[in-house]
Amino acid sequence: MRHPITPILLSLGIFLIGHGLQLSLLPLFARSLSWTDFSIALTGASYFLGFVIGCIVVPRLLARAGHIRVFLCAGGTAAATLLVLEFSPYLWAWLLLRFVTGCCLACMYTVVESWINEFGSNNHRGRLISIYILTTLIGLGIGQQLLGLIELLPLFRIGAIVMLLALLPMGLALVEQPMMLKAESAKLGMISTLPIVASAGMILGGIVTGTIWTMAPLTAQKSGLTPTEIGFMMNAVVLGGALAQLPLGWLSDRFSRASLLNVITVFTMILSGFVLTQSPDGKALVIVMFFLGGASLSIYGICASEANDKSDLNRIQIATILLLLNGTGSILGPIATGLVASHTGNALFVVTLGSMIFLSIIITLAGRRSLKDIASKNAENNMYTATPS
């Protein structure tokens, strides 16, 4: 099982070193161009809009070209857009280029997730997806650490070079890939076939993670952190998410995924409330972001496992819909945070708190509904199996 997925995880992990670098590099570079928080938020939203569109078109690309070719072409295009961004200090150009990057990343993530789920089963899917997310976070963390060590402009070229080198393991690997399927695009109606907890978790979790990746560097800068310290803070987010993956994946395979998800949302609410009431800065903010990363970056894997367990759709359709929902939330997150930022410096945590409250309510209501359905079925079965007195 490990043999077919190792090359694609290796390629993705290396690629995300370059991608993780640009996640913090681009907001800081845009700030050096004197752009407003809302303009920077729009570039993040444009990226996630491209992500959503990419989720819609990728099934046809996979049916036409196969997993490996789509992965390689998307990775090469993403590297090219990063190089062009360095020489295009115009908002309209960034909106277009970030849109293209989003499309590319959607294609790559869909390839990887459908590939992994093809070789997984319900008994260990939570752990397998945790390994995948752990790989992504290690790559993102290494990329974040490069920030502050080198001047901003050379980092564009370094990030692009790393992205291109990442394509070698996948391009040269002789491994079995998932069978090419007919072009079955994801349709909005298919969302209703997924568990409501998974769908809601993907959207609201996307709001939180989209906000963190786009706006957290700016929040840290307003708190007085230097570029090197911002790199450490973003690395704390990634490290927290990485350390939480395997334990939470193991727990999700043994206990109710919905209940575990509710615990995570409540914990995230407590963290957000602490920041809003205590206004920590410096080291305290880094510690908060460590735990916030552990909680928020675990939502995706648990929701993906829940959906793959309980949906009858094929793996490509499931991966596409989940990424579509997550990308939609990630569009809304930066925009909402950019608007709230005009009223408070803790906009990131206001949006996070609101999203997690809403998700906790949905999980609780879904759990009560499930209990009622089980009770109703038991009563119906008892009625038919009871013997006359």
**Residues contacting 114, CB < 8 A, separation 6+:** 62, 67, 178, 315, 316, 318, 319
- Domain residue spans of the chain: 2-379
Beta-bridged to residue 247, according to DSSP, are: none
Divide the 389 residues of the chain into consecutive groups of 10 and give the mean pLDDT of each group.
69 88 80 80 84 82 82 91 85 90 89 73 65 81 71 76 89 68 57 80 89 80 75 82 80 80 90 84 83 88 80 71 83 84 81 91 78 53 50
Please give the pLDDT value at position 101: 92
Burial of 342 (0-12, 13-18, 19+ CB in 10 A): exposed
3-class DSSP assignment, residue 88: coil
Query: Rounded to an integer, what distance in angstroms lies between the CA atom of residue 84 and that of residue 100?
Result: 12
Please give the pLDDT value at position 47: 86
Burial of 367 (0-12, 13-18, 19+ CB in 10 A): middle
**Residues contacting 262, CB < 8 A, separation 6+:** 360, 363, 364, 367
Element (H, E) at 302: helix 299-310
CB distance 71 to 170 below 8 Å:
yes
Residue given tokens 């735990």 in the structure block: 291
| Residue 83 identity (one-letter amino acid) | L
Closest C-alpha among 224, 215, 218, 355 to residue 281: 224
Please give the pLDDT value at position 190: 67
**Which pTM value belongs to this model?**
0.69
CB distance 79 to 18 below 8 Å:
yes
Structure tokens belonging to residue 62: 């996979």
Residue given tokens 């840290």 in the structure block: 220
Domain at 2-379, CATH from 1.20.1250.20, 1.20.1440.230, 3.40.50.720, 1.10.10.10: 1.20.1250.20
